[in-house]
Amino acid sequence: MSVLLRPEPVAIRKPDTPAPSPILQMKGVCKGYGSGVTHSEVLQNINLNIREGEFLAVVGFSGSGKTTFTQLVAGLIKPDKGTITMEGEPVTGPSPDRGLVFQNYSLLPWLTVRGNIALSVNSVFKDWSSEARREHVEKFIDMVGLSHAAHRRPHELSGGMRQRTSLARTLAMKPKMLLLDEPLSALDALTRSQLGDEILKIWEEERQTCLMITNDVDEAILLADRIVPLNPGPSASLGPAFTVGIDRPRNKTELNDCEHFKALRNAVTNYLVAVRQKARTAEQAATKHLKFRLPDIQPEDLNRKGRAIHNQPPR
Amino acid sequence: MNWRGGLLKFCEVAGLPIFEPFVRLAAGEDKKEQFVGIAKYVLLPIVAIALFLGFWAMAANTVVTDSAKLPSPKATWDAGAQLIAMHYEQKQADRLAKQEKVGEAVRYMAEAKAYGEAAEKATGAKKEALEAKSLSLKKRAVSAVNYEPSSAPTFIDQIWTSVGTVFFGFLLATLVAVPLGVLCGMSPWFNAALTPFIQVFKPVSPLAWLPLAFIVIMWYYAGYSAGETFFNKAFLISATTVCLCSLWPTLVNTTLGVASVDKDFINVADVLRLSWAQRLFKIILPASLPLMFAGMRISLGVGWMVLIAADMLAQNPGLGKFVWDEFQNGSELTYARIAFSVFVIGMIGLVLDRIMIFFRNLVSFGNPAPA
């Protein structure tokens, strides 16, 4: 237990190297839902710089505001306080520049794999010739290995194939930055590791700026350059970043024997568990003084004469 | 996909699970399992129908008044067969009459031609007389060719009129309800404005609507006599009543469908920055089609039910009028015919329902409705 409660393992953390300018910057971002008494703060004081070309993973427990975080970055919701800027411009709404891969695929069920990808290509690259757009669509179907299933509709695909379609749809928009909202969490364990490898492979080819939200530490270490833990909510904030110093290309089976990998995994996990424990203790402490104090009353003797029945006429 | 897969898919989409065991049996799948399926979907209903017919026959012997009795299944069947036979006899007679008229026309034309040739040779007053004769013969020939048999509509004619009326009314209702529903679903303000009307008018019976539809049609067609208008007045009154009653399920379901489009699909539209029209036609409408069609299915069912009552009241030639006329006739066949038309009305309702299920399943990918 003492290992788990170690508050901040610093062994693995390396000093941040002077980095290229951030492509996306979050400054003092707060977001809550509800108003008045029912208002609950989900994210508080989020500060984050995402550098050009890096793969950043945000790791957190479920319910700690991960989805809210993604939606903020994607521009689907607006922060209550603070600013989000991308390449110096404030983020005012969703944009194809920040391609979002949805947790539950969000494929349109009435379109085929090709149709789903073509929809995004056609609406983002309006000025291309139809020939160029068609080639572009085929290229990305091919990239995720779905050429044989391009004519199928989402309900005829397995979960992994759906997520690959979703990934291809987003990649085909040529976003400046890729947002992956728990891309693997709806998949079974085998498909998960396979698709994880594929994302890694695609990313290592394209070297695109990528922000992944996940609840799986292994996955984060395998894919990311930096890992930022999301302290559990309510009022979640970001913890200190862990740099993943494992050389690329990475191989999952080799990683299992890598000491650095093991140490990093322990460090991140311990940090998250410790922070959650602290949050729980704080919560308990906060509710403690709210406990009702029971009145200190001794039971009376109900058999005492003249007391039992009050509405009797006095004798 | 092989033929078996294709047929099974069709059974599923068309909402006809009854044929599924037969397809599987023909494809050589496990026989025992398929026979269980056949027993469940075919034999059991047949037994139930036989039981029903038995009770009906017993009731027919019991329910007897001075003037009439409940028709037995046999009497109903015979009356039905007779109605259908009458239709074909009538058509045959009409065809013969028409043929005769055409023959007549040919004769008139030949005579007219003869008179015309004679007129060319003749001169003076005689020529004029011959030409006039030729012209009048030609006119008679034309009217003979254009002869339409004016026999009373038969039972099968009435069926077609009814089906036509219900489809026209349903089409009208769909054209009104779908755009309104889309607006309601997309704008809570518009929905709030329309909700009182929907809530109040939805439960109104067709019988209450009919007089109002009647005066509107009468006002619109004032000054025209029977043959001059494109639509028959009675037809329009019936169709309008059907429309007014079958509007609401489509409207309510379309509103629901549009308002409850998956938030993720809206997010997709947001990320792609689709324009308003693109968002409507590429995301919202396709996503709400299944619910829309579910509403249209209810609408068509309601429309068909309403139509019979509307036909009775508006005296629109149709099944309702047929039932009403038979009831007024009071011949010994009356009740058997009415009983037969009850079954026909039911069967047509069933077919209409299947058609709508088929369409609904076509647009709801991977999520077919239970039949």
Tell me the per-residue pLDDT of B290-341, one tens digit each, with 9 for 90 and over: 999 999 999 999 999 988 888 888 787 888 888 888 888 877 788 888 999 9
Per-residue pLDDT, B352:
92
Per-residue pLDDT, B49:
94
Does the structure show a pLDDT above 70 at A9? no
Span of A290-299, B189-198, B271-280 with lowest mean pLDDT: A290-299
Does the structure show a pLDDT above 70 at A7? no
Query: If you average pLDDT over residues A104-132, what whole number do you get?
Result: 90
Residue A119: count other Cβ atoms within 10 Å of its Cβ. Answer: 23
> Any CB–CB contact under 8 A between B365 and chain A?
yes
pLDDT in tens, A197-217: 888 888 888 788 899 998 888
Per-residue pLDDT, B257:
92
> Any CB–CB contact under 8 A between B1 and chain A?
no
Nearest to B204 by CA among B97, B302, B120: B302
pLDDT averaged over every residue in chain A: 82
State how far the Cα of B96 lies from the Cα of A13, in Å rounded to an integer. Answer: 102
Give the closest-approach CA distance of A231 to chain B in angstroms: 26
State how far the Cα of B366 lies from the Cα of B132, in Å rounded to an integer. Answer: 74
* A11 — pLDDT class (breaks 50, 70, 90): very low
As its CATH architecture, domain A1-14+16-96+195-288 has 3-Layer(aba) Sandwich (3.40)
Q: Is the Cβ pair B267, A156 closer than 8 Å?
A: no
Does the structure show a pLDDT above 70 at A153? yes
Query: If you average pLDDT over residues A240-253, what whole number do you get?
Result: 81
Per-residue pLDDT, A305:
59
Say which of A95, A106, A124 has its CB closest to residue B268: A106
State how far the Cα of B248 lies from the Cα of B173, in Å rounded to an integer. Answer: 8
All structural domains of chain A with their residue ranges:
1-14+16-96+195-288, 98-174
Does the structure show a pLDDT above 70 at A67? yes
Q: Is the Cβ pair A100, B267 closer than 8 Å?
A: yes
Higher pLDDT, B176 or A315: B176
Per-residue pLDDT, A279:
81
State how far the Cα of A24 lies from the Cα of A70, in Å rounded to an integer. Answer: 13
Instruction: Specify the pTM.
Output: 0.78
* Alpha carbon B359 to chain centroid, angstroms: 16
Chain A's closest residue to B289, CA to CA, is: A110
Does the structure show a pLDDT above 90 at A113? yes
Does the structure show a pLDDT above 80 at B273? yes
Per-residue pLDDT, A114:
93
Q: Is the Cβ pair A110, B270 closer than 8 Å?
A: no
Q: Is the Cβ pair B272, A110 closer than 8 Å?
A: no
Higher pLDDT, A299 or B252: B252
Span of A259-263, A291-295, B85-89, B239-243 with lowest mean pLDDT: A291-295
Please enumerate residues of A whose Cβ is less than 8 A from a Cβ of B.
74, 76, 93-96, 98-100, 102, 104, 106, 108-110, 119-120, 123-124, 153-156, 173
How does strand A209-214 pair with strand A55-59? parallel
Per-residue pLDDT, A301:
66
Nearest to B155 by CA among B270, B29, B321: B321
Does the structure show a pLDDT above 60 at B267? yes
Query: If you average pLDDT over residues A182-196, what whole number do you get?
Result: 83
ipTM here: 0.75
Q: Is the Cβ pair A94, B367 closer than 8 Å?
A: no
Which residues 281-340 of B are in CB contact (within 8 Å) with A?
Answer: 282-283, 286-287, 289
Containing H/E element for A49? strand A40-51
Does the structure show a pLDDT above 50 at A3? no
Distances (CA, A) of B295 to B246, B334, B346, B359, B369: 9, 36, 20, 12, 13
Say which of A74, A102, A110 has its CB closest to residue B286: A110
Q: What is the CATH code for B155-363?
A: 1.10.3720.10
